Structures are given as structure tokens and as C-alpha cells.
Amino acid sequence: MSLQQNGAPRPVTSVVLFATQLYPLAAGRSSGFGGAETELWSVAQELGAHADLEVRVLTLTDELAEPRRFGNVILHPVQPSQKLTYRDAWWKRRWAIAFYYVNLFRKLRKQQADIYFSKLASSEASAVWLASRLAGGKYVFRIEHDWETNPRDLTEIIFRGSRFWAKVFLYCLKRADLVVAQTQKQAEHLKRNYGVNCVLIPNGHVIPADAEVEPDPQKRPTVLWVARVHPMKRPELFLDMAERHKGVSFTMIMAPNPEHEELFEKCRARAEALNNVEFVSGVAPSEINRYYQRARLFVLTSEAEGFSNVIIEALKNGAPALSLGHNPDNMLVPMDENQGLQPAAGFFADENMAAASALIERVFSDETFWLESHQQARVVATELFGIENVVDRYREEFEKLRGSK
């Protein structure tokens, strides 16, 4: 299959993206995925809208027996590993894992794609790399989290102490045809720690039109927090803020996670005991923007991230962002209590709860300050993270890879 471009046929490039948690998102569920999956799904849909690309998505689900089109992409189901515990026999657990990887690899090999794309360090990423080599395709890996760029965190946190699987992953990473980083910090650490060069491509988001964004601060009565439940997200700090500001409305959207059920229930109980906190157990993708549209301020409490997609989601919906412990590429303005606050798209408190409290008070008492911050948030989101520009960058890189065969 080919397209005509300036009179010459141009072949269609087949791209296979693998990510484990995309089916719940494609199916319109309210949980089972995070901001990284939402962003990747948007990028895949935008890539698939271009006639010179054929985009397929491999993801885990036992709800589909055959490939099925979702919008601009074709989703290919991979049977997930059987859920077993240490109560099951050793051989049974090993057999389930082996069956999963054999099935995954068969599905990957069957694609025979020009480009194989995966994100997040994992043993599956190594399988995608191997499939690309056997198919004669190119392999693209995208960094999702700062932990992936640090050898200690990669081994101890991501691979849970397995030096073997960390080494396997690094072997594949160093032989990738293209590595994509989200931030300059990630790029520097990749080069210093692994000797890996990369390109910087920011996360891509669909930016709402001005007419779709609520500009009236009086119709934005709440401070918002959005994340999957995980200790690294430090949700208890958001609840600490709510206790400090009992006259302000707080909204906590926490998607459940079976691995951290105890933390989820603890946060829900604490939130429900506070009269000024609305606790929401996950929200469907089609509904999330209306929560951002009601937010006067968005708060990120994570101790570490890649480039947090929830910050971008807040900015594009006109909600200035406040981060306690993470400042990607120094995009957020550090807060100095001695110099006073100036309007900005986002603010970095550097673990200073007093500074964070001062900002909360300011956005609810000074409408001019908020309106200027709101406008700056929209500008930053549009200029840096508009999905059309981001997808153009991917297409440029894919074209280079295709031409390097």
C-alpha cells in the first residue's frame, strides 16, 4: 500500500505500540489506567489519523478474542498472565508467567511492523525489542519516569531487586533505534548513567478551545488532586492541606489499585471524615475535564514523576498547578515567601507546606492574580504540549527511522 506524495509513491509505515493498560481506556472505563496511558492513547489516535501511518496497539485484555478498531487504531488483545499468589505451587506460577510471555512474543512477531514502540522499563519492553529485531523493524522506547534513568531505582524499585531483568532491559535500551525522553533531566541522566543518547519529545495533549474553558473563578470553587493510589503519590499530604483550609473545598479523585487497597481505604475514610473534601473513586476519561474546569488550583503531591500528565491536564483546562516535590525541567516557578507571589502557570513549593498554604489562600482571595495565572496556564499548555506539534515530532523521527533501513 502506498500514497502519492509529490508524484512519487510513499509507503505506509506500520507502527505497533505496546502498553499493558490501554484496554480499560479504550473501553471507556473509569479506572485501570493512569495519565501516561491516557496521553499515549491520545498520541496513538492522532498518529493513526495520518494516512501515511498504520497504527496498531497491543495491550492486555481477556475481553477481546480478535483485533478490533477503536477510532484511528486497531487494538490487538494479548491474554494477560493468570493471577496467582504465593499460595499456588511454584511450578504453576512459573508456567503461568512462561505462557504469558510466549503468547505476548507470538503476538508481537505476528505484527511484522516497521516500527515497534513501548514505554516504561519492564521485561515486556525487552520482548518488544527482540520482536523488532526478528521482524527487521525499528525499536523505539519512551522513558516514562525519572526512576528509569537511575540505575539504583531501576533495579530496586522498577524491577523489584532483580539485577538480571534490569540488565536485560538495559541491554535492549542501549540497542534501541530511538529513545525518547520527556525532560532534559531524563536526557542528561540517560547519557551520564547509561551512555544513551535520546531525543526530547514532550507529552501530547488535545487542548480545549478557549470557548470550552471556564474563565470565571467563581465557578471554580475547589482545589483538585487526581492520581491512582500509590505511596509515591503521597495522597495524605493533600488531605493535610484540606485540614489546614477547612473553609476551602477540596476534591480528591483517586483511582483504586489492588496493590494498594489499604492505602486507598485509609484515604477514603479520612477524606469522608472531612466536611470540605469530596472523594471520587476514579473518573471516566470523558468526564475528567469537567473536574479540571471546576478547579481553582490543581495540586500534585508526588515525590517523583516523569513529566506528570495531570499537570498538563490542569494547565490545558486553565487550572494553575502547585507541586510540592516535583518540578519537571524547572517549568514551575519556585515559591519564595520573602519575595511574594507573582502570577504563573504553575508553582513549585519544594516541600514547603507554608508556601503551599499561602498560594491556596491567594488564589481564593485575589481574582486578578488567579485570572493572570489561568491565562498563563493555557498559553503554556498550548505552546508546549499541543498534540498536533507533538505528533509531528514523532512523525519526523519515524520518517528518519524508515529512511535509515
Please state the pTM of the whole predicted model. 0.82
| Most distant pair of Cα atoms in the chain: their distance | 68
Element (H, E) at 40: helix 35-48
CA distance 104 to 69: 19
pLDDT of residue 4: 42
Mean pLDDT, range 135-161, rounded to an integer: 94
More confident residue, 38 or 318: 318
CA distance 395 to 5: 15
pLDDT of residue 383: 93
pLDDT of residue 57: 97
Report whether 302 contacts 327 (CB < 8 A). no
DSSP bridge partners of 141:
118, 179
Mean pLDDT over the full length of the chain: 91
Is pLDDT above 90 for 404? no
Is pLDDT above 70 for 385? yes
How far, rounded to the nearest angstrom, does the alpha carbon of residue 187 sit from its chain's CA centroid? 17
Is pLDDT above 50 for 107? yes
pLDDT of residue 85: 65
CA distance 58 to 78: 7
Mean pLDDT, range 337-342, rounded to an integer: 70
Query: Among 90-94, 272-276, 325-329, which is the least confidently predicted range?
Result: 90-94
Mean pLDDT, range 224-241, rounded to an integer: 95
% of the chain surpassing 90 pLDDT:
76
pLDDT of residue 263: 96
Residue 231, amino acid: P
Mean pLDDT, range 239-259, rounded to an integer: 94
More confident residue, 256 or 129: 129
More confident residue, 200 or 82: 200
Q: Within 13 A of 155's CA, how many CA atoms are on the CB side?
A: 9
Residues belonging to the chain? 405
Mean pLDDT, range 297-322, rounded to an integer: 91
CA distance 324 to 241: 11
pLDDT of residue 1: 33
